[in-house]
Amino acid sequence: MKTKASSRKISNNKRRQLNQIAQQALLHINDGKILAAATLCDKADDIFKNFPEIMYARGMIAAFQEDYPTSCKWLEPACAAMPKRFDCLANLASSMSLCDRKEETAAIFPRIMEKAPDLFERMNGHAVFGDLLIDLGEYQQAMKLLGQAVARTNSKDADTAIKASGLYNEFGKPDVAVSLLEKAQTTAPTDPRIPYEIATILIKQNRNEEARALLKKALAIKPGFIDALFLLIKTGPYQGMEDDLAKMREIYRQAPPESSHRILPAFALGDAEDKEGHYPEAFDYWSEGNRIHRNHTGYNEQDQESIHQAAIEAFPAPRFLHETSENCSSASPIFIVGMPRCGSTLLERALSRHPMLTDAGEIDALGQSIAGRMRLRSNQLVIENLKTLDDEALLGVGREYIRRIRNEYQVEGTAVDKSLGNYLFIGAIAKALPNAHIIHIQREPMASCLSMFQANFDNVHYSFNLDELGRQYARYQKLMQHWRNVLPQGVMFETSYENLVSNTEAELRRILEYCGLEWHPDCLATHKATGSVNTASLFQVRQPIHQKSVARWKHYEEQLAPLRKYIKASSNS
């Protein structure tokens, strides 16, 4: 039952007395005297139950104790009773956010920004609200707020600049991203993260020499900066690389077993052994890095099982028998779907060279559109919506997707969306955007799984354990077979990495024909594609198309044997 402010009348005398008690309680809270503050609140309740200022004080006591649900329980009615107490509203927003009630929090910030701009400044509102809007998928407004936060701050804390620059870079504005970081560097010249972050942007633009200089600068500031050393080694070969590998071996040796400080060294040393042809040693390093990473990661495999099953149940064959509604969007985006490390970046780079196409990158526009605008996207919410959205509602999802592509991602023309996980939503794409083109690219399963296992994917949690990886790949194969069985002919096009690298022009011609596009010879020059690369394929796609990786997994056939019981042979269609 919700707490409510009392509606009984109160004398001016008692009101003054209660306000004084509330002020004393808040002073005690500021001094950390929580018991004394709570005693005063109990005393106030003897005079008048649930006086708004006392509820505010109780909310602040709970917040001090990090009991944020209880804090919200007191602050919500206090704010309702005192609509002009914006300090109360600001503290409610903070407690709500810490309860993961981000959607409700987002509705509060504009009121504070408009009605109490000084308070909004003091609470670092531009940074906090901007950060919140990222979680809700409102990227353009988030960029604007975070940029304002960087411009306003005199702090030597570079966190906001790093957050803002990452967002600007992701949305195709690397020059703005670098300028924000350079501004932060003037106030925080000894923060090693700033040259490191600039280097990550430059590497994505293939400016490796400049990036190496910045990474060395970061390491000069902080010699034990493992992330910087790891990235520096990844840019190799370069003069002095062997010395850096020796440093990485020493970091690995000194780190306690099972410590997270061993993760990056293990992957770096595994890659080095692989290049030398020392395959058992390489796999041992990768296995150790993955095992430690898995132990430090929360991964709920049942979530993956649920969302794959929900996709199958939501889109049975009869659902595709109905004619397309006249209310559907005429937009025809291209979706590249599949598992990570399947050759998708190569295909994306080839298509991005076509003058009629615009590369949107790996974006969450579809998942966010299914979740709904200003909603915190979660697997559970997406599952619920997949189960309940009818065909008309899915057309709304299509319209929201196109709005997001145009307004949030600012992609003009025909977008190429390379969010591989959209294979979960192929049925939804077919109903929401009937004119879309869906390209499923696959690769020899063992090659794809090896590449994931050695990549140290922070956000692909199933890749840290061979059994979990195998089960996930089996779910993917089962779902893709479902789409083959239920989709009308011509809705989805299938290709493979092996076909793409062995018969490149013929395969690209087939793909472009499916997309209704004329052949363009520039599609063959993938290594000349402009723009940043934001995937683990960063260093490979800067090279001309080659077949070097096709059979590489066979060096590890024995070590990958646990995958066999889960994975079917690829059809390579």
Question: Each residue of 445-484: pLDDT tens digit?
Answer: 999 999 999 999 988 999 999 999 999 999 999 999 999 9
Angstrom distances, CA of residue 379 to CA of 65, 137, 306 = 31, 15, 9
Average pLDDT score over the chain: 91
The pTM for the full model equals 0.88
Residue 215: the pLDDT is 98
Across 299-316, average pLDDT: 94
Residue 380: the pLDDT is 86
CB 456 within 8 A of CB 353: no
Task: Establish how many alpha carbons lie within 13 A of residue 572's alpha carbon, considering only the half-sphere containing its beta carbon.
Answer: 14
Residue 570: the pLDDT is 46
CB 96 within 8 A of CB 116: no
The burial class, CB within 10 Å (0-12 / 13-18 / 19+), for 77 is buried
Is the pLDDT reported for residue 423 higher than 50?
A: yes
* pLDDT tens digit sequence for 507-524: 999 999 999 999 999 999
In the structure, what pLDDT confidence band is assigned to residue 538 with cuts at 50, 70 and 90?
Answer: low
**Whole-number Å distance between alpha carbons of 326 and 340:** 35
Is the pLDDT reported for residue 556 higher than 70?
A: yes
Is the pLDDT reported for residue 540 higher than 70?
A: no
Across 11-23, average pLDDT: 94
Residue 437, beta-bridge partner list: 334
**Torsion 186-191-196-201 (CA) sign:** negative
Q: How far is CA 301 from the centre of its chain?
A: 18
The burial class, CB within 10 Å (0-12 / 13-18 / 19+), for 227 is middle
Considering only residues 526 and 410, tell me which one the structure prediction assigns the higher pLDDT: 410
* One-letter amino acid of 12: N
Angstrom distances, CA of residue 458 to CA of 285, 298, 337 = 17, 11, 20
* One-letter amino acid of 509: R
CB 258 within 8 A of CB 296: no
Across 122-143, average pLDDT: 93
Q: How far is CA 433 from the centre of its chain?
A: 24
Q: What are phi and psi of 180, to 5 degrees?
A: -65, -40
Is the pLDDT reported for residue 527 higher than 70?
A: no
Is the pLDDT reported for residue 360 higher than 70?
A: yes
**Torsion 164-166-171-174 (CA) sign:** positive
Is the pLDDT reported for residue 543 higher than 60?
A: no
CB 437 within 8 A of CB 332: yes
Residue 572: the pLDDT is 40
Lowest mean pLDDT among 230-239, 256-265, 323-332: 323-332
Q: Kindly compute the dihedral angle of the four CA atoms of residues 105, 106, 108, 109, in this order, to the nearest 10 degrees.
A: 120
Q: At what angle do helices 466-486 and 301-314 cross, to 10 degrees?
A: 0
**Whole-number Å distance between alpha carbons of 504 and 485:** 28
**Whole-number Å distance between alpha carbons of 395 and 535:** 30
Q: What are the b/e assignments for 480-504, b being 16+ CB within 10 Å?
A: bebbeebbeeebbbbbbbbbbbeeb
Is the pLDDT reported for residue 36 higher than 70?
A: yes
Q: Domains of the chain by range and CATH?
A: 15-123 (1.25.40.10), 332-527+534-568 (3.40.50.300)
**Torsion 232-228-268-553 (CA) sign:** negative
Secondary structure of residue 40 in the 3-state scheme = helix
CB 61 within 8 A of CB 29: yes
